Structure 1
Amino acid sequence: MRGHEATTTAHPGDATPERPPYSGQGRPPVSAYPQPHTTLRALALAAGQTATRTVTWRQGSKATKHNPRAEMRSQFLALRVRPANRHIRRAADGSLPECRLLVEWPPDSAEPTDYWLSTLPTDTPLRELVQIAKIRWRVEHDYRELKDGLGLDHFEGRNYLGWHRHVTLASLAQAFCTLLRLDPKAPAPA
């Protein structure tokens, strides 16, 4: 699942290519979509904010009067689309691959703010799509812990073997810290 710009082009999920009739001269025509592609922003706006659903993806750390449990939540919309990049490989019938567009549309915003394209199975629940899209925070947190707390950036050697050993040990230390953090029986740090 990758984040994309609002200007990324795509066709609606139900769009199908058509092959013009062959006149008998020159190269046979190839299949093409009859309607021009549009942007992810336009597809989301066409679906409308009324089609969004509120999803909570994780517990935050800053409780407020309006959100005492510190839930991280927003409104999301999932649509079937066919990305229209010319470098995407088409099927034998000329169709583009289908994927899901996940759109974040906060309730106080006039239009969507974030877009992700996903090739996960179509029966993946919306909440799971949102959790995967929003996992970037966890990745950045773990990388910062690896770099600052476990010394990933302290290597000053001159050969690949030493660097490889250093990265392996730092990764093992990160895995150990993660296991301690997830263990409900582990004593709280002092």
Structure 2
Amino acid sequence: MFADPDRAAAVRARRGRARLPDDVRHREKWRLALDMLDQMIDQWGLPRLPVAADSGYGDCTLFRLGLAERGLRYVVQVDPTATAHPADAVPVTAAHSGRGRPPRPAYPDPPVTLKDLVLAAGRGTARQVTWRRGSRRSTTNPTAAMRPHFLRLRIRPANRDIPRGGDGSLPECWLIAEWPPGADEPVKYWLSNMQPRTSLKTLVRLGKIRWRVEHDYRELKTGLGIDHFEGRSFTGWHRHVTLTVLAQAFCTLLRLDPKADAPA
């Protein structure tokens, strides 16, 4: 392998101008997310609460495995083209011919997409779930309840990175799908390793809690200017982000602080 010394020198020069520390290198965002969770739990002492994430993280099998290895429960959005076996699928072992290695247990049928699993279950399995109450009340919905239709299935996600049991079986998890009335197919899908006894309402609430994340991020951008940074240095960016996040924390504490009664 030939490394161009001029190109390497140019990269070092750019890193120097940006004041990038020598130990800072590219790291995938799902690994960064796991690093932050480790810091929050191991260094900050925060409780191990369920993790919610969009498909940018949920579609990454290694991210889901990393959460499970840390003993964390999760509800993460995924693409419907991901594949899985039904929960009742059982691996079988083919007869050994006597030559070579004995065959390993394997599922007799190929995995199918999450979408196909949900469509096979049918719209009739979906239930209306009130997962939160909004602010837009009406005569037909005086409590502003948000109550789409959801269904859940026990499945076994299929991926070469997922460890199998000694009998060749893949681990079970929940598949949750949102299927609006009148729609030909579901519009959103989630995977979750929450306990089998977890209620559908709890699964939906955790899957939908991303609205809070999106709200906070929108406040960071539009209200507090996290995307207004125009510098070119590592330290400058971190100072900007730190001050912006502190400002948001201050605003959040103000919202949570009970208001004292005003004097008459």
Using structure 2 for the length normalisation, give the TM-score: 0.64
Instruction: Give the Cα–Cα distance (whole angstroms) in 2 for the partners of residues 75 and 47 of structure 1.
Output: 14
1:123: how far off? Answer: 2.8
Instruction: Give the Cα–Cα distance (whole angstroms) in 2 for the partners of residues 90 and 58 of structure 1.
Output: 37
Q: Which structure shows the bigger proportion of residues in helix conformation?
A: 2
Amino acid at match of 1:83: P
**1:176 equivalenced with 2:250 (yes/no):** yes
Q: Which structure shows the bigger proportion of residues in strand conformation?
A: 1
1:140: how far off? Answer: 1.4
Greater mean alpha carbon deviation, residues 9-18 or residues 103-112: 103-112
Report the equivalent of 1:42.
116
2:141 to 67, 73, 77: 67
Instruction: Give the Cα–Cα distance (whole angstroms) in 2 for the partners of residues 159 and 186 of structure 1.
Output: 44
Amino acid at match of 2:176: L
Instruction: Give the Cα–Cα distance (whole angstroms) in 1 for the partners of residues 182 and 82 of structure 2.
Output: 24
Instruction: Give the Cα–Cα distance (whole angstroms) in 1 for the partners of residues 243 and 164 of structure 2.
Output: 44
Cα gap change, 1:7 to 1:158, in 2 (>3 Å): closer
Instruction: Give the Cα–Cα distance (whole angstroms) in 1 for the partners of residues 199 and 258 of structure 2.
Output: 28
Cα gap change, 1:85 to 1:164, in 2 (>3 Å): same
**Percent identity of the aligned residues?**
62
1:83 to 124, 149, 157: 157
1:85: how far off? Answer: 2.4
Amino acid at match of 1:44: V
Runs of 4+ in structure 1 deviating by more than 4 angstroms, as ranges, are none
Instruction: Give the Cα–Cα distance (whole angstroms) in 2 for the partners of residues 186 and 97 of structure 1.
Output: 52
Report the equivalent of 2:94.
20
Query: Contact conserved, 1:11 with 1:83, CA < 8 A, in 2?
Result: yes
1:143 to 217, 241, 246: 217
Cα gap change, 1:128 to 1:183, in 2 (>3 Å): farther
Aligned residues: 188
Deviations along 1:43-68, one digit per CA (max 9) or x if unpaired, are 22222223222111112232333222
Structure 1 gaps of 5+ residues are none
Cα gap change, 1:166 to 1:88, in 2 (>3 Å): same
Structure 2 gaps of 5+ residues are 1-74
CA RMSD in angstroms, aligned pairs only:
2.2
Report the equivalent of 1:56.
130
1:164 to 208, 226, 238: 238
1:186: how far off? Answer: 6.3
Instruction: Give the Cα–Cα distance (whole angstroms) in 2 for the partners of residues 175 and 186 of structure 1.
Output: 20
Deviations along 1:3-42, one digit per CA (max 9) or x if unpaired, are 2233321111121211112221022212111122222222
